[in-house]
Chains A and B, each alone.
Chain A
Amino acid sequence: SQTIHQWPATLVQPVGSPLSLECTVEGTSNPNLYWYRQAAGRGLQLLFYSVGIGQISSEVPQNLSASRPQDRQFILSSKKLLLSDSGFYLCAWSVTGGRTEAFFGQGTRLTVV
């Protein structure tokens, strides 16, 4: 069966520090991968999605970047965090080529202080 792991679950970082959130998927090949930000009262905002290794599409310009160094690994990064980067970040995957459901990780609560 397929599983998705996202870590860390919580993170407190000072302003100006770097960020690296990691997401890995097991039990499937060539998944579509997504990074979302979930804000209270605003639903889920798609930040990045990837249809293959090294292929990253950004939905919103911001202080964050994403990379997919391996087929089932998706990393969300920042060189210098801002206070406004605080939030709840979700990684998700779906089957390539199908209009099927998305499967979500447990999320990371990031607090920038």
Chain B
Amino acid sequence: AQRVTQPEKLLSVFKGAPVELKCNYSYSGSPELFWYVQYSRQRLQLLLRHISRESIKGFTADLNKGETSFHLKKPFAQEEDSAMYYCALMKSNYQLIWGAGTKLIIKP
């Protein structure tokens, strides 16, 4: 079955602490994975994609095909990182499969 799993509905960390948002996937083909973010009162928007192998706003995510994971990490959390984060997998027909989302709260 094709599936994206984000096991944590809510993650709360202190400012300056490391953050890791978990994402696991199940897909028989070659996956293309994304992290989307939705800040309060803003549109859902792309944060980063695995194919770009870039760091955006201090976040990175590495595709681990062995563990079928695409965890989102940031070494030092900032208050403005508080948002809803969604992991998504793009199928070969360009449709996206979405995780349920993780609400990240950064405490001062």
Contacts and interface: CB of A to CB of B under 8 A. Distances in A.
B50 to A, nearest CB: 11
A41 B101 CA distance: 7
Nearest to B101: A43
A49 B95 contact: yes
A97 B90 CA distance: 12
Given A41-B9, A43-B98, A44-B98, A99 B90 contact: yes
A24 interface: no
Interface string B1-26: 00010100100000000000000000
A43 B95 contact: no
A101 B43 contact: no
Contacts of B95: 46, 49
Interface size class of A (residues with CB under 8 A): 20 to 34
The binding surface of chain B is classed by DSSP as strand
B86 interface: yes
B32 interface: yes
B94 A101 contact: no
B96 A102 contact: yes
A80 B64 CA distance: 46
Given A44-B86, A105-B43, A99 B94 contact: yes
Interface in A52-102: 90, 94, 97-99, 101-102
Given A43-B101, A99-B32, A104 B96 contact: no
Interface string B87-106: 01010001110111100000
Interface of B: 4, 6, 9, 32, 34, 43-46, 49, 86, 88, 90, 94-96, 98-101
23 contacts: A38-B44, A41-B9, A41-B101, A43-B4, A43-B101, A44-B44, A44-B86, A44-B88, A46-B95, A46-B96, A49-B95, A90-B44, A94-B94, A99-B32, A99-B90, A99-B94, A101-B34, A101-B46, A102-B46, A104-B45, A105-B43, A106-B43, A107-B43
